[in-house]
Structure 1
């Protein structure tokens, strides 16, 4: 749809705080970027928030949506029973050409399901994936998948790598992203059956593949993309979040433990503030939903206005940089690999679960990123 300015449809009812936070995030994004926004949700509630922010005349479009998909709703039920929900209508705006992308802090499984069934997948992509952007010692990196697909085939991992490569180049500005494959050892030949096959396929691809990486390598910044299935990725993501919170609490406890520690804290406020900003999830906005015929950003349910603002900026950057066009080019170059299918017949692979090719979008097993 893109003409002069990217237009982002925002699920105003999503997240733990609904319009009270989403509207403020959208207004902040309008003030700091050249874009348009469409707020989708219950019009009366949205207008009340605009009034409260003294922004009743703000240049925003409102599209009324009476229904709201709650966090506890099963995605498949939401698809069938809540066709007038804010999430579904937001994706329909993209399909109709009225918007270029969607941002939602609502039910992540429903967001994936609505995006999948409304927009469809890019040709050559079997399973859309959620990409997390994590801080490292050097610069942000991409972890994919972080929860959309808990069971994967090797060629799915290759497709994830291709999508994350485009994300790293288009949004993070990395000229030639270094790709690592999550395994239990750095040496070639380490890992389970899925990882070993994916390793061989990635080595033959056009990507800047650096081989296997271990969990301890994620935050060193030595690779720009780490590829894994959604089960492993979600564990890594949640462990990282929990560790960051615990370290922050431990650090605060120690800094306030005694007089001299408190004195030292006064001189370290600037450094502590910068450290807190680097590990704050709000700095990265949300998790891009890659592989759809359109842009989708899934935000944390507890997102504040800052997180929503940054997620809207990310969606606009995707549109401005024509990221999906670049992905289609990558898929064309690696066509033989992304269409790869391997029938497992040997007895040594009998323990490997064989998955159906169609995406199981019931999403009951979709982890909330």
Structure 2
């Protein structure tokens, strides 16, 4: 296992606990990106920001708090590091308890299915396996904007190690991560300016959803600069490993999962990759094709989504054929449960009705 992200570590522990010989190479982030520099630390800070916002409204709940609630950056950082540290320690304990060989160092392929691992002391060892899984994740990318690198900009990783809150900050990019940090920092009292290349924040979302998030950020004090083409380049950096729908690479018995495989950059998507890998390494044929991945933007309030946006749905293909199915059901007084549970030809647009009519989509 080259890299111990959500998919890799889960698979490594499973296989090792089942008695297989498993080695996992990790460069340093025990538990992966999520625990160390993404989901866990950022959501810990988001929760602190929400408590701060609530404390400022204490009087509305009949509570008189002395002074003005404010951020203590040292306490904030200590809490974040305690949460992360506790989880990292738990992960290391679980890794070792599974029986895996945990190798801390950097891996390089030297021949097919064989890597050389170099630790911080320069000691090298060689590991080979019948199967190899690459789960190295991705790193933040600094766009090639004149003068930007010289200014030593913060990234979504380095901002988590700040020793003090800045008086002001410019966030290049109004995507999911940018909006989360804008929301959090605005609540904490930082003067935030979000510069977004396109004409709306969260460009994958419907315009009304984007406008709602923009309104919330503005209400918290953030300044939004939209349509600033040159200053808002934002993309993930690093090598993407090409895989098929079964997470196989072009090399025999070499697999990839998580961010590095082009999987949507959510921990729960990587967890699904683990399940697919576990099945397929054992001879199965689980696929990533057409899987439905929900996600949430942890602004305050949050934005969650699964499936097509309204805009995407309005541009859907063969909608005229789908509406005819509904029409026939209505003319025949067919209950929606019967349509939901029918065996409908795959792959067709009409079979999407079964998901649409499921309990998860129907309003109470």
What is the TM-score normalised by the length of structure 1?
A: 0.26
Structure with higher RCO (Cα < 8 A, 6+ apart): 1
TM-score (norm 2): 0.26
Choose 1 or 2 for highest CA Rg.
2
More helix by share: 1
